[in-house]
């Protein structure tokens, strides 16, 4: 199965590279929400965030932090979002783990549509118990 991000790592697809080290590749997104919108990926292929090994996870997260700071400073952004979509229900369309770093500007008009839910006290406890069983 073909993976566009693996092709970028291999050099058979072009990208505007920001970071290229032993474990991580970062490049500008070709369809940005705002200019400077970047993607950070592990060079090894993992379908989603849950699969990434510690050996690859820590360098990737460190790069996300460093690149976020550089994007904010260099573009005079007011803030930034760091996102990782995991699974189709979460909006993942390329099945190679990646983080989006999106520079944000007060006037950019980009809004997350929030449909927030509320827990009853019992519901919150039930959900916490379910999650804790897997930790």
Catalytic residues: 98
Residues 6+ apart with CB under 8 A from 13: 4, 7
Structure tokens at 26: 């970062």
* Strand, coil or helix: 91: coil
Helix (H, G, I), strand (E, B) or coil at 70: helix
> Which residue, among 124, 71, 76, has the nearest Cα to 102 in the 3D structure?
71
- Joined together, the tokens standing for residue 59 give 């360098």
């Amino acid at each position: 199965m073909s993976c566009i991000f693996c092709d970028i790592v291999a050099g058979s697809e072009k990208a505007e590279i920001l970071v290229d080290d032993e474990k991580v590749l970062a490049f500008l997104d070709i369809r940005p929400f705002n200019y400077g919108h970047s993607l950070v990926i592990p060079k090894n292929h993992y379908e989603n965030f849950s699969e990434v090994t510690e050996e690859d996870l820590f360098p990737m997260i460190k790069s996300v932090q460093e690149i976020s700071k550089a994007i904010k400073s260099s573009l005079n952004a007011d803030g930034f979002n760091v996102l990782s979509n995991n699974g189709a229900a979460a909006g993942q369309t390329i099945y190679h783990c990646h983080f989006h770093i999106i520079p944000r500007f007060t006037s950019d008009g980009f809004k997350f549509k929030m449909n927030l839910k509320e827990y009853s006290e019992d519901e919150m406890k039930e959900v916490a118990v379910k999650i804790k069983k897997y930790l």
